[in-house]
Amino acid sequence: MKNILVIGAAGQIGSELTPELRKRYGHTRVVAGIHKTIPPRELFESGPVEIIDVTDKEQLVPVIRKYKIDTIYNLAALLSVVGEANPLEAWRVGMNGLLNVLEVSREYRCAVFTPSSIGAFGLSTPLDNTPQDTIQRPQTMYGITKVAGELLSDYYFKRFGVDTRSVRYPGIISNVTPPGGGTTDYAVEIFYAAVKEKRFTCPLHPKTYLDMMYMPDALEAAVQLMEVDPSRLKHRNAFNVTAMSFCPEMIAAEIRRHIPDFEIHYQIDPIKQSIAESWPNKMDDSCAREEWDWDPKYDLPKVTEDMLRVIKKKVKGGE
| 125 interacts with ligand SER by CB under 6 A | no
| 209 interacts with ligand SER by CB under 6 A | no
142 is catalytic: yes
Segment 57 to 86, residues that bind ligand SER, using CB under 6 A: 79-80
Question: Interacting stretch for ligand SER, rule CB under 6 A, among 33-41, 62-70, 154-162, 177-185?
Answer: 177-185
Task: Choose, by CB under 6 A, the member of 15, 139, 174, 183 that binds ligand SER.
Answer: 183
Q: Which is nearer to ligand SER, 30 or 219 (CB)?
A: 219
- How many Å apart are CA 7 and CA 37, to the nearest integer? 12
- How many Å apart are CA 305 and CA 39, to the nearest integer? 27
| 182 interacts with ligand SER by CB under 6 A | yes
Burial class (CB in 10 A: 0-12, 13-18, 19+), 191: buried
Question: Interacting stretch for ligand SER, rule CB under 6 A, among 85-93, 106-114, 115-123, 243-251?
Answer: 115-123
Residue nearest to ligand SER (CB): 182
String marking each residue 260-299 x if it binds ligand SER according to CB under 6 A:
----------------------------------------
Q: Which is nearer to ligand SER, 80 or 208 (CB)?
A: 80
CB of 175 to ligand SER, least distance (A): 15
CB of 183 to ligand SER, least distance (A): 4
Number of residues that bind ligand SER (CB under 6 A): 11
Q: Active site residue: 25, 73, 108, 142, which one? A: 142
Question: Interacting stretch for ligand SER, rule CB under 6 A, among 178-186, 235-243, 285-293, 298-306?
Answer: 178-186
| 118 interacts with ligand SER by CB under 6 A | yes
| 186 interacts with ligand SER by CB under 6 A | no
Binding site for ligand SER (CB under 6 A): 79-80, 117-119, 142, 169, 171, 182-184
